[in-house]
Structures are given as C-alpha cells and as structure tokens.
Amino acid sequence: MTLALGVLPWHAPYWAVLQQYIVHKRVPQALLISGNPGLGKQQLALQFAAALLCDHRTPDDQACGHCNSCLLQKAGTHPDFISVQPEAEGKGIGIDLIRLLLPKLALKPHGEGFRIVVIRPAELLNNAAANAFLKCLEEPNERTVIILVTANAGRLPATIISRCQQLKIIPPPRALVTEWLIQQQVRADHAILLNMAQGSPLLALQYAEENSLALRNQCFGEWMGIARQQCNPVTVAEHWQKLPSAPLLNWISSWVADLIKSYYSVQRTHFYNPDLQPLLQELQKQLDLTGLFALYDVLLTAQKQLHTQLNKQLLFEVILIHWFNLGDT
C-alpha cells in the first residue's frame, strides 16, 4: 500500500485534537485510539508519536522527517520509542512482553523529551498481561506517553479504558472518501468497495488493490449455489477456510442482513450490497425470517471466535450447513 505522507484527509479533526495536546503541552499519559479496521488508527498513532519525538516540528506540529530523532525513528532504532505487538500473527500480547516493558519504563527516558510506547492491537492483551500493564498506567513515569490502538475497545478491561484519554475514529463521510479513492486512482466501483469495507477508506483501497470484488462475487456465487442446493456446503467450506476469514465473515453477515432487509421491503439504497439486491430479493421469498435471524447469531458468534485458535474448516461448515438447511425448507 503506497500512501502519501501527511495527515490523512479524514484524520483532520482527530489531528486537531492531538495537535492541541502538543500546543498546550498537555499530552495525556495514556491515549486510547479506537475505531473499525481500515480507518488508519495505527498511522495516526505513529504520526503522533513521531511528532512528540521530533526535535524540529513543522508549523502544524507534525514531525519534520529529517532531524536526528526522525531519522532514528525511520531506522527503527529510536531509544525512546517502544512498540509492543504480538510476536506472530494469530498470537496475543502475553505477559512476557509486558514484563519486558516494565523495567524499561522504570528508567528515565534516554533523551530530554518524551518516551512513547505504542501497543497494538491492544485488544490482544491477554488477561494476565492486561493486569500487569495496569501498573504502567497507575504509576505513570515522567514524560512517558502510552498509546493503545484497538479495533475492539469492548474487549479491553474497563480498568484500562478508564485510565486512558479516548480518541474514537468513526467512518468518514462518503463524499470525502470517494474523492480520496479517486486520488488513489481506484477504478473499481467506489460505492460497492466502501460498502464491502463498511466505510473504511484504507480497507476499500486494499480491496481494490487485491481485486477483492471479484473474490467477493465468486464467494457470493457459491453462497447462492448452496441456497439453490447446487453446491455442497462442506466443499465450499474447504475453499473458504483458505481465504481471509475476517472480511469473508463480514461479507456473509452483510448478505444475511440484506436478506432480512428484503423481508421488510427496505429500499435498495439502504442495502449493504445494492448490486446484489435483485438476487437477494428473489431468494428471500423462499427463506424463513426466524432461520435468518438464527444464522445471523451464528455469524456474530463466529466473528467473536476469530481471534481464538479455531478450526476454520469447521467454522465455515457450521455456517454453510445452517445456510444449506435454510434453503431446504
């Protein structure tokens, strides 16, 4: 993904808040940046960290990009920048990582300025790690700023949330994102991409770059095939378990939500997938509403299980067999 430097257009109001912290020298010691995936939370966190560490900020208080501190950050060797992330994909942030952090925080920062700790994704702090981490928040060291980044603040303990200043990023207005997607030279249908990405610009861009619309349409074809009893749910699950699960579950949930909307004759413009509306409308006539609600519940449960070590084949089999049986009524 290639992105221009500088504050992203939809971050302007959030940057204004962060900038005020710098201008008034009232930087919170713990900041929680939350919002859906694809809104650029990490980029904002890192831009703020870079600005706090920079020796010669620009007039609008962003990092200059070429002072000694900025160069050390770019090289990933700044002694006062600490990043805490899971050691591998699919893993949590365990107590070992927090135990490594605690002695570092007990010391003064190396330089005269701030020391920044960025924890991402913060919802992956397991219970033991979260409890150990609370100590950092309760006894903040001088000049230390802890930035937590999360797509799921609801999974963080209330004891952590209550000690943080919160910055919630919400999906930006469609017109702004459409203009930005045009600047990024995205040619695929912006409205469909944004619906698929639930309004998140970076996710829409990623979908465009990965040609996810074709994949989504292929999956929808298989999904419809199961409803028509033409495809075997176990065979389709075998294909789907190899695909990225999080977007796929979002897409399935949006198809089911649109089927429920069809049942209530909701207008096409309010559909998550307006392009699929004629097919969904037709299909809905053969389906039972109670069964659709039950399937929606199954999907919500599946989404909560995504971060656990689950068997994806089994996960999709449960969903697709449920769906197959709905079509059989």
Residues 323 and 223 sit within 8 Å (Cβ to Cβ): yes
- Pick 58 or 217: Cβ nearer Zn ion: 58
Q: How far is the CB of 25 from Zn ion (least distance, A)?
A: 18
CB of 78 to Zn ion, least distance (A): 11
Q: How far apart are CA 215 and CA 188, in angstroms?
A: 13
Taking the complex as a whole, the smallest distance from the CB of residue 22 to Zn ion amounts, in Å, to 13
Closest CA to 226 of 264, 262, 252, 197: 252
Contact between residue 256 and residue 274 where contact means Cβ atoms under 8 Å apart? no
Residue 62 C-beta: closest distance to Zn ion, Å: 9
Question: Residue 66 or residue 228: which is nearer to Zn ion going by CB?
Answer: 66
In the bound state with Zn ion, the residue whose beta carbon lies nearer, of 64 and 213, is 64
Q: How far is the CB of 56 from Zn ion (least distance, A)?
A: 5
Strands (E), 35-113: 81-84
Least Å distance between CB 53 and Zn ion? 8
For Zn ion, give the closer residue by CB, 54 or 117.
54
Closer CB to Zn ion, residue 50 or residue 299? 50
Binding site for Zn ion (CB under 5 A): 54, 63-64, 67, 70
**CA Rg, the chain, in Å?**
23
Task: Please tell me the distance from the alpha carbon of residue 249 to that of residue 240, in angstroms, as a whole number.
Answer: 10
Query: Would you report the helix, strand and coil content of the chain in percent, each value rounded to 5?
Result: 55, 10, 35
Question: Between 71 and 314, whose beta carbon lies closer to Zn ion?
Answer: 71
CA distance to 88, 107, 205, 270, 317, per residue, from 5 (Å): 27, 33, 16, 34, 43
Strand pairing category for 165-168 and 30-34? parallel
Cβ-in-10-Å burial (0-12, 13-18, 19+) of 97 comes to buried
